[in-house]
């Protein structure tokens, strides 16, 4: 039985909607020149935007540093010491940086009890990202590979210099009456709304002041305007404001 040497099942490799084969000397993987130009322009634009952001951030830091120097110069020596003590108290590893929780309690110690959103805003505006330690030891590569699956966001930290600047500005803008009320609350144990002889005894003992009983009584009598043997908040404010 005769068979045909032709194979009708074969289909030309190029055809039926496929592109023609490249000619001699042609690259089958050519990319349009316009695509390279578009990519280069995009990269240039992104680089220009990055440089502009860095320039603005640098100018903001310089303005803040200058404002901070001016604010610190206006503070009393005692106020500057309070800021330093509040920072050092919570900078446990003594690296001159504090995180969110440390910043919150340090500010509270200075009389600024801010909500979480404001603390986070301060860190996002003025903080720097912490750099995680690189894995070390024979299992370092394995740890690094495992960490690639999930990278938690870096912690934001506030430097001592920035903390000084921000606290100086807040102290200078604080209402003097609010400062006096804060001092009053340190005396007024239990929130009674008045400072009694018992309160004066306690504060004198805590401060190590060797005041005699008659001296404490005389203090109450001198500033007690309504004759209730105690110093009210309004009386205390009037005493401090002179």
Question: What is the pLDDT, as a whole number, of residue 136?
Answer: 45
Please check the confidence at residue 98 and state whether its pLDDT lies above 90: yes
- What 3-state DSSP class applies to 136? coil
Task: State the pLDDT confidence band at 21, using cuts at 50, 70 and 90.
Answer: low
- The torsion region of residue 213 among left (phi > 0), alpha (psi -120 to 50) and beta comes to alpha
Question: What is the pLDDT, as a whole number, of residue 197?
Answer: 92
Please check the confidence at residue 37 and state whether its pLDDT lies above 70: no
Domains by residue range for the chain, with CATH:
60-130+155-174 (1.10.238.10), 177-241 (1.10.238.10)
CB contact set of 210 (below 8 Å; sequence gap of 6+): 204
Sign for the pseudo-dihedral over CA of 15, 19, 23, 27: negative
Which of 7-16, 30-39, 125-134, 199-208 is modeled with the greatest confidence? Answer: 199-208
| 11 vs 124, higher pLDDT | 124
pLDDT digits (tens, 9 = 90+) for 164-197: 999 999 988 888 888 788 888 889 988 999 999 9
Cα-based distances in Å from 218 to 185, 202, 221, 229: 21, 16, 5, 10
Kindly report the number of other CB atoms within 10 A of residue 22's CB atom: 12
pLDDT digits (tens, 9 = 90+) for 135-158: 444 455 555 555 555 455 568 999
């Amino acid at each position: 039985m005769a068979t045909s040497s032709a194979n009708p099942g074969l289909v030309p490799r190029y055809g039926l909607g496929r592109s023609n084969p490249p000619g001699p000397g042609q690259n089958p993987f050519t990319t349009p020149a316009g695509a390279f130009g578009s990519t280069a322009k995009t990269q240039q634009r992104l680089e220009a935007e990055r440089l502009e952001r860095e320039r603005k951030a640098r100018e903001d830091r310089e303005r803040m540093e200058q404002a901070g120097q001016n604010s610190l110069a206006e503070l009393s020596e005692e106020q500057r010491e309070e800021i330093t003590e509040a920072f050092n108290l919570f900078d446990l590893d003594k690296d001159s940086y504090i995180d969110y929780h440390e910043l919150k309690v340090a500010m509270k110690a200075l009389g600024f009890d801010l909500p979480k959103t404001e603390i986070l805003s301060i860190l996002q505006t003025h903080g720097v990202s912490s750099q995680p330690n690189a894995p070390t030891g024979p299992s370092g590569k394995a740890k690094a590979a495992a960490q690639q699956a999930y990278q938690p966001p870096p912690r934001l930290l506030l430097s001592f210099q920035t903390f000084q600047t921000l606290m100086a500005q807040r102290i200078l803008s604080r209402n003097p009456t609010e400062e006096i009320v804060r001092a009053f609350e340190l005396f007024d144990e239990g929130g009674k709304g008045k400072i009694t002889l018992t309160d004066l005894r306690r504060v004198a003992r805590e401060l190590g002041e060797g005041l005699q009983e008659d001296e404490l009584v005389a203090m109450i009598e001198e500033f007690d305007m309504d004759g209730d043997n105690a110093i009210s908040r309004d009386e205390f404010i009037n005493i401090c404001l002179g």
